[in-house]
Chain A
């Protein structure tokens, strides 16, 4: 799961605790459990920078798990 691992690296880069990053599963809800709104926005910014994509507000509300982000980055 290379993209999932890359996303976890980004989570570490934005300051999410390493223990939490190691434990988070691809289907685990991120908001409130893993990241607060400060980390969440930083995570989106990091993803946009890393993959050269834009996360619009409409889609941002549907990105709840690492799998959701992976599918948004690599659709299809």
Chain B
């Protein structure tokens, strides 16, 4: 049966600008810049290189690059061939990378600089392509027929895949069709944010996150804007330095970064060049919204999206942002708030948020049971978030599972609990979200073995024990000793009771 073909999203994003402003800068990274014309040529050269490696349509290519000029070149070059670009963080552990390679079946891995991880040398199944920070491989250039080098995808061809953490700790692949790179540009970029070609975009969220990918790859190219890339850690001083140097008009970040910028500022006011500040990744607390506005005169437009939906489905809009709210439903999406039995909750009541829209992932990769359990037959997706809707605005009320968002990264309590239980003094434990200032972090609640004394020194020892095993953002910010943990009649730990006990509620 003939499949309907659709636009290759890479082709659409690249060629739209060539006629209008080929010499305009598409990307800036440190002291380097890349024009639209040069981006187009570099993407096609990389596509040709992949074809010489024997890439076939729908074959997965793993891209483990930082936010530098090489990323859009490699990502879009892969899409031009019809391959599936699997974007992952370059800071993944060897174990995580091996899991993802095994899961997505990638035969090609693109990395920056000299490989440092042992498996690169021993795993002959994976061809490693080393490029520099401008996407050049071996410094060689290939003369090809650049204008006709692209693959016309069919309507259900996957364009890219991202990996999202799950409750078991094993990352799950979330594939997306070509339209998922383009539709957020129309539904959010144009309709809500009115992004134009004279905008300069700076996103602290990296390309390997859905939020960062659309912010820094799709938005600038769709609208002919310029994007600033920062490969390093987004600490407040580096972020402010970039803002002062390059004067972005649109700033995308996460609540932690906005908080850190506020805390690092000595002046009574902070003059910033942006016309828009946007936040996602975690709920933006109302005090943070208000303090940022007091300091800068700017709103922060909070919004919520997911890897599964490719970008925002609820968002505040400029000039009408409501502090403490994630915003209103983005036109083009449908939402339901349901109880635990799937029935719509009465107006004004909290419910589990279900979302339906045109950017939904078709499935989780290689996870048919999870896909069936999360993506309902009517097309709605269980987000796992609890919301309240009031006057058309959505207010975040927590998770219906026990997952924690810490620094905009998912933390599975089970992973942290496993690490805690490996300490000989721990009888049992539970990890739940606690709020410290404006930050949400994991908090640990520990029952010790009989006869073991609860001391500050032991708490510190437990903290050190975890820090040796887990990344910073997963480490509990507080360890509280308990005599017993709250449980249901069947023995299941009630983490929500721990949250309620030790979370400071926002002042109303």
Residues of A within 8 A of B214 (CB): none
If A37-B260, A45-B436 touch, does A58 touch B235 (CB 8 Å cutoff)? no
Interface residues on B, range: 20 to 34
Consensus secondary structure, chain B interface: mixed
Q: Give the distance to chain B from A75, nearest Cβ to Cβ, in Å.
A: 17
| A61 & B266 in contact (Cβ 8 Å cutoff) | no
Contact between chains at B236 and A31 (CB < 8 Å): yes
Among A1-9, A18-26, A49-57, the stretch in contact with B:
A49-57
In the complex, which residues of chain B have a beta carbon less than 8 angstroms from the beta carbon of A54? Answer: 504
Tell me the smallest distance from the CB of B293 to a CB of chain A, in Å: 12
Question: Per-residue CB proximity of B258-290 to A under 8 Å, as 1/0?
Answer: 011011111000000000000000000101100
* Nearest opposing residue in chain A for B436, CB measure: A41
**A29 contacts partner chain B, Cβ-Cβ < 8 Å:** yes
Residues of the A chain whose Cβ atoms lie less than 8 Å from the Cβ of B259: 37, 61
Residues on the A chain within 8 Å of B249, using CB: none
A-B contacts counted at CB < 8 A amount to: 81
B477 adjacent to A45 (CB under 8 Å): yes
Known: A55-B436, A55-B437, A60-B438. A41 touches B260 (CB 8 A): no
Bound Cα distance from A42 to B262, whole angstroms: 18
**Contacts A31-B264, A37-B260, A41-B439; is A61 near B288 (CB within 8 Å)?**
yes
A44 CB–B CB distance under 8 Å: yes
Across-interface contacts of B504 in A (CB, < 8 A)? 54-57
Decide if B343 is an interface residue (CB 8 Å cutoff): no
A17 at the interface (CB under 8 A from B): no
Q: Assuming the A-B contacts A41-B477, A56-B504, are A29 and B435 also in contact, with contact meaning beta carbons closer than 8 angstroms in the complex?
A: no
**1/0 per position for B321-353, CB-CB distance to A under 8 A?**
000000000000000000000000000000000
C-alpha gap A4/B361 in the complex (Å): 53
B55-82 with Cβ < 8 A to chain A: none
Residues of B within 8 A of A63 (CB): 263
Are A33 and B436 in contact, CB atoms less than 8 angstroms apart? no
- CB distance B437 to A61 under 8 Å? yes
| Least CB distance, A37 to chain B, in whole angstroms | 5
B287 and A33 contacting across the interface, CB-CB below 8 Å: no
* B237 proximal to A (CB < 8 A): yes
Beta-carbon contact of A61 and B235 below 8 Å: no
Q: Is the CB of A44 within 8 A of B460?
A: no
| Given A13-B460, A38-B472, A61-B287, A32 contacting B437 (CB threshold 8 A) | no
Kindly report which residue of chain A lies nearest to residue B464, judged by CB atoms.
Answer: A15
Which residues from chain A sit less than 8 Å from chain B, CB to CB?
13, 29-33, 36-38, 40-42, 44-45, 49, 54-58, 60-64
11 intermolecular pairs with C-beta atoms under 8 Å apart: A13-B460, A32-B237, A36-B235, A37-B256, A40-B260, A41-B441, A44-B437, A45-B477, A55-B504, A57-B437, A57-B506
